[in-house]
Amino acid sequence: MPVRAAAPRLIALALLAAAIVWLATHRAALQPGEMAARLATLGPWAPAIFVVVYALGAVLLFPAALLSFAGGAAFGPVWGAVLDLAGATLGAGAAFLAARYFAAGWVRRRVGGRLGRLIAGVEAEGWRFVAAVRLVPLIPYALLNYALGLTRIGFWPYLAASAACMIPGSIAYTWLGYAGREAADGNAAGLRYGLLGLGVLGLAAFVPRMVRRLRAPA
């Protein structure tokens, strides 16, 4: 492969390696409480920096739930949910493209036999299958982003279905993070957000089953 043609991949790999090194040396900074405290010192830049860090964490397979908790703790139940969804969508898109263009072998080794199920599901259902596995993930969010990059679905249908169906999870985990912060501050008013967050997770898990039952007679 000519050097000029390989340059974009080499740059992407170098950036990914640098990000991995940063994560290895700053892992404590990505814990919800620590991140919320750091974001509070960044002023108007905090939302943009948080979205970038969230996306980077998604690419590096950091647990998305912890990042969403941090968003709720730092930005509250409304803006936290918006920023969590933005970061999750950006990270999902970046991981998808990484798998499709230069990390296919690594993804196949990590996903294993489940990859065949994903490919068959996308072949049969297209974006609807992406929507279903976002609501009730067969594979953890971060790894699912990579795995779907090896299917034939187009980038924009994938991203649109992912963003739409990550809304319930983003809201739920954001509210749980906000409730945790309020509880830590001794404020019981945030408890209802925690209960609502659990309710949203339960409802999201039930929706695909209900859709399958409605479609079964047809």
Report, as an integer, the average pLDDT of 183-206.
65
The amino acid occupying position 151 is T
Q: Among residues 67, 41, 66, 36, which one has the least CA distance to residue 53?
A: 67
Q: What is the extent of the structural domain holding 94?
A: 3-215
- 3-state DSSP of 138-189: CCCHHHHHHHHCCCCCCHHHHHHHHHHHCHHHHHHHHHHHHHHHHHHCCCHH
Q: Where are the alpha helices (DSSP H) in the chain?
A: 3-25, 32-39, 46-59, 64-101, 104-111, 114-125, 127-135, 141-148, 155-165, 167-184, 191-215
- pLDDT band at 31, cuts 50/70/90? low
Q: Among residues 78, 77, 79, 80, which one has the least CA distance to residue 67?
A: 80
User: Is pLDDT of 113 > 90?
Assistant: no
User: Is pLDDT of 81 > 90?
Assistant: yes
Give the residue with greater pLDDT, 119 vs 79. 79
pLDDT tens track for 142-181: 889 999 999 999 999 999 999 999 998 898 889 888 888 7
Confirm if 110 and 143 have CB atoms less than 8 A apart: yes
CA dist 198 and 172 (Å) reads 6
CA dist 48 and 206 (Å) reads 33
pLDDT of residue 3: 46
Number of domains, the chain: 1
